């Protein structure tokens, strides 16, 4: 039987204030007080895993060990069937600007263009199936862990459309819809997203 969180403090293994706010809103109704790894001054571990599960566990375990508090981390990204599942765990890396290209940071238009260019090289009949994955990992200071995986399937479009999303959202059309994630109302997107799928599984098992 999977170990339950109960109520109390939970460290969200992130230095991103937006992600902390989003996750807190989902968990605080269940009695969890969410803190961020950033606010506790915890270092960010190197993500050396080759799967979303491995990287989520690396982050959750590092946070739990350093803080002594139960921790939750997520790892997510987009996979393209015709590219053998890439960019996958390297989703954010494909958007990294090199120093010689200007200020360091992420250029998502460049990343979307890279995906489109690789698909174009495969010819006009290349399948455009893609999916977003999200893995949520909970780690306890004593070494226990639990993992929840979410996914949303869709296809890629070009050129990018919409301004409401982030990352690869402007080129991703979820199955059964005609609008990209970046054209959908954020509430509508979040209701069907890979993160929502993973959280629904977490809440059902942990608080159901």
Binding residues: 14-19, 46, 75-76, 166-169, 189, 194-195
Task: Please check whether residue 26 is in contact with residue 49, taking contact to mean a CB–CB distance below 8 angstroms.
Answer: no
- Residue in 75, 84, 144, 185 annotated catalytic: 75
CB atoms within 10 A of CB 177: 14
Query: Residues annotated as binding site for Mg(2+)?
Result: 46, 75
Told to judge if 144 belongs to the known catalytic residues of this protein, a careful annotator would answer no
Burial class (CB in 10 A: 0-12, 13-18, 19+), 97: middle
Query: Residues annotated as binding site for substrate?
Result: 14-19, 76, 166-169, 189, 194-195
SS3 assignment for the chain: CCCCCCCEEEEECCCCHHHHHHHHHHHHHHCEEEEECCCCCCCCCCCCCCCHHHHHHHHHHHHHHHHCCCEEEEEEEEEEHHHCCCEHHHCCHHHEECHHHCCCEECHHHHHHHHHHHHHHCCCCCCCEEEEEEEEEEECCCCCEEEEEEEEEEEECCCCCCCCCCCCHHHEEECCCCCCCCCCCHHHHHHHCHHHHHHHHHHHHHHC
Tell me the catalytic residues. 75
């Amino acid at each position: 039987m999977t170990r339950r969180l109960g109520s109390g403090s939970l460290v969200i293994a992130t230095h991103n204030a937006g992600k902390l706010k989003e996750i807190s809103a989902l968990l605080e109704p269940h009695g969890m007080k969410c803190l961020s790894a950033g606010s506790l001054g915890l270092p960010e571990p190197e993500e050396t895993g080759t799967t979303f599960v491995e990287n989520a566990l690396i982050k959750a375990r590092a946070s739990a060990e350093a803080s002594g508090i139960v921790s939750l981390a997520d790892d997510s990204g987009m996979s393209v069937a015709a590219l053998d599942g890439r960019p996958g765990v390297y989703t954010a890396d494909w958007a990294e600007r090199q120093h010689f290209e200007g200020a360091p940071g992420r250029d998502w238009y460049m990343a979307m263009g890279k995906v489109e260019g690789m698909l174009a090289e495969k010819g006009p009949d290349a399948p455009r199936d893609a999916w977003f994955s999200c893995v949520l990992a909970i780690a306890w200071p004593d070494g226990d862990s639990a993992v929840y995986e979410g996914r949303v399937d869709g296809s890629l479009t070009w050129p990018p459309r919409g301004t409401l999303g982030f990352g690869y959202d402007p080129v991703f059309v979820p199955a059964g819809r005609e609008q990209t994630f970046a054209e959908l109302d954020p509430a509508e997107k979040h209701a069907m997203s890979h993160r929502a799928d993973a959280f629904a599984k977490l809440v059902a098992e942990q608080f159901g």
